[in-house]
Chains A and B, each alone.
Chain A
Amino acid sequence: MREIQSSQITEVIAELCQRVNYELPEDVVEALRRSREAATSQVARTVLDQLLENARLAREEHIPYCQDTGLAVVFVELGQDVHLVGGDIYAAIDAGVRRGYEEGYLRRSVVGDPLDRATNTGDNTPAIVHLRMVPGEEIKLHLAAKGGGSENMSALWMLTPADGAEGIIEAIVGRIQEAGGKPCPPLILGVGIGGNFEKAALLAKEALLRPLGQPNDDPQLAELEQRILEAVNATGVGPMGLGGGATALAVHLLSYPCHLASLPVALNVQCHAARHRSVTI
């Protein structure tokens, strides 16, 4: 049994909130560079040049690369041999978000009531926390500060088993076409297949945490990732919806066993501003 103070969680989250907003992950920068080289129109090259310049400026000057600094989504893997002392884990995470967004001059993007929009919670809390218990005596915290514009273009379908892989591709391509430039392409697509209604959505979001472009371990799923990526890029939506280049940088898929009657499929759309990073305590 290892004792960990909940204040350590607060400190880690506060720092992660700032770093994910100033430092676009290197794998994303690299993918944008490759995309720039492959672009076929002047406007696409211009857009991608601006995004690369933007990432450099943000990292050097410590300002957020996008004004939407996200809703704090935290995946926690809590070792079952950890004894957490000094307070509630959820309160510790929220305290970290509060401090990180305040100290980092980040935007508070949370309204207290989804229908009466008048009141901003003022500190970007509450975070959305997904807590999972795992063997061991460590805590892994993975922060994904998710932007609203791309989240809005996400979708979930309860397909039938007969729809199969073709049905999945068709649903995703249709959605990306309809979304056009709204979610800030080039995109990273998290896809959850199977489980049930809520599990598929969670898988889609978790899939986005993988290093960019690292294929699924299962060769069949890796092949489906590739097919979806090619189909999405064949739409011609392109950077900012202006054509001339990649619509998506990668497709990450996760699957899970499901009910005989079901084929749940979730798509979590991530813009190029992929704010995520993890720390293990």
Chain B
Amino acid sequence: MPSEARQIKLPLTADVIAQLRAGDSVGLSGAVYTARDAAHQRLISALEAGQQLPIDLDGSVIYYCGPTPAPPGRVIGAAGPTTSSRMDPFAPRLYAAGVQATIGKGQRALQVRQACREYGSLYLIAIGGAGALLSSFITQAEVVAYAELGPEAIRKLTVAEFPVLVGYDIHGGSIFPGDEDLD
């Protein structure tokens, strides 16, 4: 990431979220949860059934990531982002439940951009295919839910200056060339 990355401690505050603009380079420090395809289906089913969730979504950051197993001496293996658009059907519901930001790669459906604006939440992007490099910004990892899903289990990661770019901000802006601003 460029040296001008803005360093931010998690959880995000509404003020900080409002200041960020699509394209900004940011370093995140604090806790994020991994969740991808199968974990999303379970979280949504639990939400719809009114069941208690295994993690507190309010104020959380969700990282679309299924890491490789940790080799001896490391806290985690390769841990880059997976394609966000597969989680598009679930994202607005999770933003509504208090998720402050999601981290993934690639463009997303219009309803996700709209949800970012509506709920005051961000979509952040990490560099796809840089799994070895990104793992070096993770200082702790523990499985906290759905262990039976293996790589798709929900992990709580502690990250330090984890490099991301703001993909969609809360003002309707997008980092992707060709995306018009909303409105």
Instruction: Say if A and B assemble together.
Output: yes
Could you say which of B1, B66, B148 contacts A67, with CB atoms under 8 Å apart? B66
- Closest Cβ of chain A to B101, distance in Å, is 18
Could you say which of B79, B133, B176 contacts A181, with CB atoms under 8 Å apart? B176
Are B107 and A107 in contact, CB atoms less than 8 angstroms apart? Answer: no
Whether, in the assembled complex, A195 has its beta carbon less than 8 Å from a beta carbon of chain B, the answer is no
Q: Note all chain A residues with C-beta closer than 8 A to B80.
A: 66-67
Whether, in the assembled complex, B53 has its beta carbon less than 8 Å from a beta carbon of chain A, the answer is no
Closest to A102 in B: B69
Whether, in the assembled complex, B132 has its beta carbon less than 8 Å from a beta carbon of chain A, the answer is yes
Are B38 and A117 in contact, CB atoms less than 8 angstroms apart? Answer: yes
Q: A57-B133, A107-B77, A117-B38 are in contact. Are A180 and B71 (CB under 8 A)?
A: no
Closest to B127 in A: A50
Are A180 and B107 in contact, CB atoms less than 8 angstroms apart? Answer: yes
Are A107 and B82 in contact, CB atoms less than 8 angstroms apart? Answer: no
Are A105 and B77 in contact, CB atoms less than 8 angstroms apart? Answer: yes
- Closest Cβ of chain B to A247, distance in Å, is 11
Closest to A48 in B: B127
- Closest Cβ of chain A to B3, distance in Å, is 10
Are A118 and B38 in contact, CB atoms less than 8 angstroms apart? Answer: yes
Whether, in the assembled complex, B9 has its beta carbon less than 8 Å from a beta carbon of chain A, the answer is no
Are B130 and A51 in contact, CB atoms less than 8 angstroms apart? Answer: yes
9 contacts between A and B (CB under 8 A): A50-B133, A51-B129, A63-B68, A64-B77, A65-B131, A66-B131, A117-B41, A149-B128, A242-B175
Whether, in the assembled complex, A227 has its beta carbon less than 8 Å from a beta carbon of chain B, the answer is no
**Chain A residue total in the interface (Cβ 8 A):** 46
- Closest Cβ of chain B to A175, distance in Å, is 14
Are B85 and A271 in contact, CB atoms less than 8 angstroms apart? Answer: no
Q: Note all chain A residues with C-beta closer than 8 A to B149.
A: 118, 120
Are B78 and A272 in contact, CB atoms less than 8 angstroms apart? Answer: no
Whether, in the assembled complex, B89 has its beta carbon less than 8 Å from a beta carbon of chain A, the answer is no
Whether, in the assembled complex, B135 has its beta carbon less than 8 Å from a beta carbon of chain A, the answer is yes
Are A54 and B130 in contact, CB atoms less than 8 angstroms apart? Answer: yes
Whether, in the assembled complex, A5 has its beta carbon less than 8 Å from a beta carbon of chain B, the answer is no
Closest to B38 in A: A117
**Chain B residue total in the interface (Cβ 8 A):** 48
Are B2 and A42 in contact, CB atoms less than 8 angstroms apart? Answer: yes
A62 to B132, CA, bound (A): 9
Are A149 and B69 in contact, CB atoms less than 8 angstroms apart? Answer: no
Could you say which of B74, B85, B148 contacts A63, with CB atoms under 8 Å apart? B74
A46 to B136, CA, bound (A): 17
Whether, in the assembled complex, B50 has its beta carbon less than 8 Å from a beta carbon of chain A, the answer is no
Are A120 and B129 in contact, CB atoms less than 8 angstroms apart? Answer: no
Are B129 and A272 in contact, CB atoms less than 8 angstroms apart? Answer: yes
Given A46-B2, A107-B66, A184-B105, output 9 extra A-B contacts at Cβ < 8 Å. Answer: A51-B127, A66-B129, A68-B131, A105-B71, A107-B69, A118-B148, A120-B149, A183-B106, A241-B176
Whether, in the assembled complex, A254 has its beta carbon less than 8 Å from a beta carbon of chain B, the answer is no
Could you say which of A241, A243, A272 contacts B106, with CB atoms under 8 Å apart? A241
Closest to A238 in B: B177
Q: Note all chain B residues with C-beta closer than 8 A to A69.
A: 68, 78
Q: A105-B77, A108-B151 are in contact. Are A68 and B132 (CB under 8 A)?
A: no
Which residues of chain B from 42 to 84 have a CB within 8 Å of any chain A CB? Answer: 65-71, 74, 77-80, 82-84
Q: A182-B105, A182-B107, A240-B105 are in contact. Are A67 and B131 (CB under 8 A)?
A: yes
Chain B positions 3 through 34: 1 when the CB is less than 8 Å from some CB of chain A, otherwise 0: 00000000000000000000101000000000
Are B77 and A181 in contact, CB atoms less than 8 angstroms apart? Answer: no
Q: A47-B127, A181-B105, A236-B177 are in contact. Are A53 and B68 (CB under 8 A)?
A: no
Q: Note all chain B residues with C-beta closer than 8 A to A54.
A: 127, 129-134
Whether, in the assembled complex, A109 has its beta carbon less than 8 Å from a beta carbon of chain B, the answer is yes
Are B176 and A180 in contact, CB atoms less than 8 angstroms apart? Answer: yes
A64 to B38, CA, bound (A): 23
Q: Note all chain A residues with C-beta closer than 8 A to B151.
A: 67, 107-109, 120
Whether, in the assembled complex, B161 has its beta carbon less than 8 Å from a beta carbon of chain A, the answer is no
A69 to B129, CA, bound (A): 10
Whether, in the assembled complex, A122 has its beta carbon less than 8 Å from a beta carbon of chain B, the answer is yes
Are A67 and B175 in contact, CB atoms less than 8 angstroms apart? Answer: no
- Closest Cβ of chain A to B91, distance in Å, is 15
Whether, in the assembled complex, A72 has its beta carbon less than 8 Å from a beta carbon of chain B, the answer is no
A114 to B104, CA, bound (A): 23
Q: Note all chain B residues with C-beta closer than 8 A to A280.
A: none
